[in-house]
Amino acid sequence: METKFTVALVQMAMSADSEENLGRALEKIRQAARAGAQVICLPELFRWPYFCQREDAALFDLAEPVPGETTRAISPLAAKLGVAVVVPVFERRSAGVYHNSAATIDADGQIAGLYRKMHIPDDPLYYEKFYFAPGDLGFQACTTRFGRIGTLICWDQWYPEAARLTALRGASILFYPTAIGYHPREKDTCGPAQRQAWETVQRGHAIANGVYVAAVNRVGHERPAGGEGLIFWGGSFLCDPLGTVIAQASPDKEETLLGTVDTKWLEEVRRGWPFLRDRRIDAYEGLQSRWLGEEKDSPQRAQRTRRKRKKVDR
């Protein structure tokens, strides 16, 4: 396996016509491959406008199995071009069981990995808990022809646990297909800090884990439920294991970013800052708690601390 591979981050705007979105994604995959891309990532739920802006049970009709229409359209193209593609899908597993998923199609056209979004948001106009059951496949990486990659989806990007577990599975790069934007009335006030936080926390994952990170967002002002809708903020970016941004897209235009994942650089960074060596895996049990809180301090814990301090004095 080569030590370097080229990735493409496809920042798109979505129309109401899912066939058109698919056709345009296929064309963008062709263009990216021509430009030298080997692993190509599409945005979250790229077949549709971001429909989660309202709760409507009729929209479960949009879901499809994996493999299904979308993966079957992309698999032969991936095989023909010899590229791997991260394909976000609104996945139907059964009546009443739907997921926000990403299938990784390898360069032979086979599905090499399936990830089901683990962290499901629910905010005004992001009513995802209505549509998506939480993923049950855990945090994964998969080996493509070009390198080992991890897929996570949107809300996952705020969770250091997700990045860490995927990195520990050997991913050289974490792809985050995304649909994040402003509420129009907040764009000028809260928007800049929100967008900055979104970028910072993901660069933090790159640094803490010594991996590349690729965030792949959509653009456009979408109002599928009427009202003010959401303005997706684009800004897709690729950063290296030091958290340095290598490439970044505009806030409002379709754009395909190309960049190199260099596993030798990744190893050099991890040798210089050997964070993985010093993790206190004996002391992380509490991460499986919802909240630890003050109550744990007392009385047992406080007493234990007092005992320990007494010993010091002796």
**Residue 184 binding its own copies, by CB under 8 A:** no
Q: Closest distance between its own copies and the C-beta of residue 251, in Å?
A: 19
Q: Which of 96, 294, 300, 307 binds its own copies (CB under 8 A)?
A: 294
Site for its own copies in 95-114 (CB under 8 A): 111, 113-114
Site for its own copies in 114-133 (CB under 8 A): 114, 118-121, 123
Site for its own copies in 205-264 (CB under 8 A): 205, 207-208, 242-244
* Cβ distance to its own copies smaller for residue 226 or 283: 283
Q: Closest distance between its own copies and the C-beta of residue 279, in Å?
A: 7
**Residue 300 binding its own copies, by CB under 8 A:** no
Work out the number of other CB atoms within 10 angstroms of the CB of residue 86: 29
Work out the number of other CB atoms within 10 angstroms of the CB of residue 35: 11
Select which of 64, 154, 199, 239 is catalytic. Answer: 154
**Residue 283 binding its own copies, by CB under 8 A:** yes
Question: Cα(78)–Cα(110) distance, rounded to whole angstroms?
Answer: 9
Characterize 118-148 residue by residue with b for buried, 16 or more Cβ atoms within 10 angstroms of its Cβ, and e for exposed: bbbbeeebbbbeebbbebeeebbbbbbbbbb
Question: Cα(101)–Cα(47) distance, rounded to whole angstroms?
Answer: 12
Q: Quote the distance between the C-alpha of residue 50 and its chain's center.
A: 16
Q: Name the one range near its own copies by CB under 8 A: 15-23, 174-182, 188-196, 216-224.
A: 188-196
Q: Closest distance between its own copies and the C-beta of residue 248, in Å?
A: 15
Site for its own copies in 34-53 (CB under 8 A): none
Any idea which residue has 């926390």 for tokens?
201
**Residue 1 binding its own copies, by CB under 8 A:** no
- Kindly give, in sequence order, each residue whose CB lies less than 8 Å from that of residue 65, ignoring residues fewer than 6 positions away: 91, 92, 93
Q: Can 44 be counted among the known catalytic residues?
A: yes
Amino acid letter, 177: P
Question: Cα(303)–Cα(29) distance, rounded to whole angstroms?
Answer: 62
Select which of 52, 117, 222, 239 is catalytic. Answer: 117
**Residue 137 binding its own copies, by CB under 8 A:** yes
**Residue 280 binding its own copies, by CB under 8 A:** yes
Residue 148 φ/ψ region, left for φ over 0, alpha for ψ in the -120 to 50 degree band, beta for the rest: beta
Site for its own copies in 140-169 (CB under 8 A): 141-143, 148, 155, 158-165, 168-169
Q: Which of 1, 16, 35, 276 binds its own copies (CB under 8 A)?
A: 276
Q: Can 154 be counted among the known catalytic residues?
A: yes
**Residue 183 binding its own copies, by CB under 8 A:** no
Any idea which residue has 């798109």 for tokens?
12
Strands (E), the chain: 4-13, 39-41, 84-94, 97-105, 111-116, 141-143, 148-151, 173-177, 181-182, 212-216, 218-222, 230-233, 237-239, 245-248, 255-262
* Cβ distance to its own copies smaller for residue 96 or 226: 96
Q: Closest distance between its own copies and the C-beta of residue 96, in Å?
A: 14
Supply the residues annotated as catalytic.
44, 117, 154
